[in-house]
Amino acid sequence: MKIHITSIFVDDQEKAENFYCGILGFKLKNDVPLGEHRWLTVVSNEQPEGPELLLEPSDHPAVKPYKEALVADGIPAHSFQVDDLDAERRKLGERGVVFVQEPMDAGPVRVAVIDDTCGNLIQLIEMLGSGDA
């Protein structure tokens, strides 16, 4: 068994597509109209045949309080692995990405947290030493 698709709730699919593709550098995989929304998935350029991230509309009534609680408690909705967190910090900072937690060491990893502009916090993680996530 393997992960095929996972989702993140976003306030605005177009804004999310711009952020995840235009700013973070993911690649658009699927964009299928579904009434007022879209089946909108992105993949990592490093793993184009890997798991897809569904940019899921936040329309369900339970989503808003869920997302607000996660953000209020500083809990990231997802975690993305990077090779060099400090280089990623510089690159994303130049693109205007807001870091709500600057890079820091946390045992065998370095972590930072960004605001995805769509109602979520996203953790960036660099594995230290020889380990991979």
What HEC string does 19-36 produce? HHHHHCCCEEEEEEEECC
pLDDT tens digits for 30-79? 999 999 999 999 999 999 999 999 999 999 999 999 999 999 999 999 99
132 pLDDT band (50/70/90 cuts)?
low
Looking at the predicted structure, is the pLDDT value of residue 133 above 90? Answer: no
Q: 3-state DSSP: the chain helix, strand, coil percent, rounded to 5?
A: 25, 40, 35
* Whole-Å CA distances, 33 to 57, 101, 130: 13, 35, 43
What is the reported pTM?
A: 0.92
Residue 104's domain spans which residues? 5-127
**Overall average pLDDT of the 119-125 stretch:** 98
SS3 15: helix
Count of the separate structural domains present in the chain: 1
Alpha-carbon dihedral 116, 8, 25, 114, rounded to 10 degrees: 30
The domain that holds 11 is classified in CATH as 3.10.180.10
Q: Is residue 132 part of a domain?
A: no
Q: Is the pLDDT score of 131 beyond 60?
A: no
pLDDT given at position 118: 96
Round to whole Å and give the CA distance between 40 and 31: 5
- Quick one: pLDDT at residue 129? 80
What percent of the chain stands above pLDDT 90?
96
Q: Three-state DSSP class for 125?
A: strand
